[in-house]
Amino acid sequence: MSSETPASRRLQSVKHIIIVLAGKGGVGKSSVSTQLALNLYRSSPTARVGILDVDLTGPSIPRMLGLDGHGVHQSSDGWVPVYADGSEARLACMSVGFLLKNKGDSVVWRGPKKNGMIRQFLSDVRWGELDYLVIDTPPGTSDEHLSLLEHMAPLHARLSSVIVTTPQAVALMDAMKCLSFTRAVNLPVLGLIENMSGYVCPCCGEVSNVFSTGGGEAMAKREELTFLGGLPVDTELVTLLDASDANTIDSTDNNAFPLLQKYSATPSAKLFEKIVQRITTSLQGP
């Protein structure tokens, strides 16, 4: 058992840490991380969820959760995360996006600075008690992934991952590289999600297969992984996650979480509910 680290001390009250991986950029890893956090949140009225965006050069979680423009502040006990559900405070979010002066600013950092930022996110944020911490990572397997695993080494028993791919052969090849990374570092994989698997017609809800489909499921079978499910191209989802005002919380209605209400009505939400059931069942063990 590795000795304690500042991150493992800070995260001692976090039950499960799920790292979201994708071999290739643009396959929908951040939107899957966002949906995973939203669905874990709505899986129980008491679930406490955190989402950490370590995609340092392309942070998109604040925008997807409708939290652009928010800032984090320091307390005597560290950084206070931004709560996507307002005063309910069960969905905590942290991202480098909250630290940039302008949202168009780019982060151009070398490895050691990225490592320092990740250490701070894990050890200086007041995460508190969480049932789940979802971590959105950059595409591929890079310094950020190694830093995460190093800082959280003493928490190994609580770590797991989900791999996101699209059905095209080139994305599947990159997903295989992700899988071999998880095997090399001994990181358990909860399963594979095939995103942009078909297209849902906004008029009639019919699903058509624009790209090939089923490649993710076939890879899962071949590699003896759980196939968590397929998510089609969903125009309602993309409109919602791109809208900066989708989560404007009305201060007169303390319990409103507008983004969650709108998300729950999308075709993706129903499909993701099943994915989350598979994930929570697998985390509970036999």
Ligand X SMILES: Nc1ncnc2c1ncn2[C@@H]1O[C@H](COP(=O)(O)OP(=O)(O)OP(=O)(O)O)[C@@H](O)[C@H]1O
Q: Does residue 167 belong to the site contacting ligand X (CB under 6 A)?
A: no
- Which one of ligand X, ligand SF4, none interacts with residue 231, CB within 5 to 8 A by kind? ligand X
d(CA 238, CA 168): 20
> 208 vs 281, which CB is nearer to ligand X?
208
Minimum distance from CB of 180 to ligand X (Å)? 19
Ligand-binding annotation for 29, yes or no, is yes
Ligand-binding annotation for 161, yes or no, is no
β-pairing verdict for 207-208 and 189-200: antiparallel
Token digits of residue 253: 């209605």
Q: Does residue 25 belong to the site contacting ligand X (CB under 6 A)?
A: yes
- Which one of ligand X, ligand SF4, none interacts with residue 20, CB within 5 to 8 A by kind? none
> 53 vs 85, which CB is nearer to ligand X?
53
d(CA 27, CA 132): 23
In the beta sheet, which residues pair with residue 230? 194
Minimum distance from CB of 213 to ligand SF4 (Å)? 16
> 123 vs 235, which CB is nearer to ligand SF4?
235
Q: Does residue 195 belong to the site contacting ligand X (CB under 6 A)?
A: yes
Instruction: Identify which of 244, 263, 238 has the alpha carbon closest to the alpha carbon of residue 68.
Output: 244
CA dihedral 256, 257, 258, 263 (to 10 degrees): -140
Q: What is the dihedral sign for C-alpha 52, 138, 15, 8? A: negative
Minimum distance from CB of 199 to ligand SF4 (Å)? 9
Q: Does residue 1 belong to the site contacting ligand SF4 (CB under 6 A)?
A: no
Q: Does residue 210 belong to the site contacting ligand SF4 (CB under 6 A)?
A: no
Q: Does residue 206 belong to the site contacting ligand SF4 (CB under 6 A)?
A: yes
Ligand-binding annotation for 111, yes or no, is no
Residue 257 region by backbone torsions, left for phi larger than 0, else alpha for psi between -120 and 50, else beta? beta
What single letter denotes the amino acid at residue 33? S
Ligand-binding annotation for 215, yes or no, is no
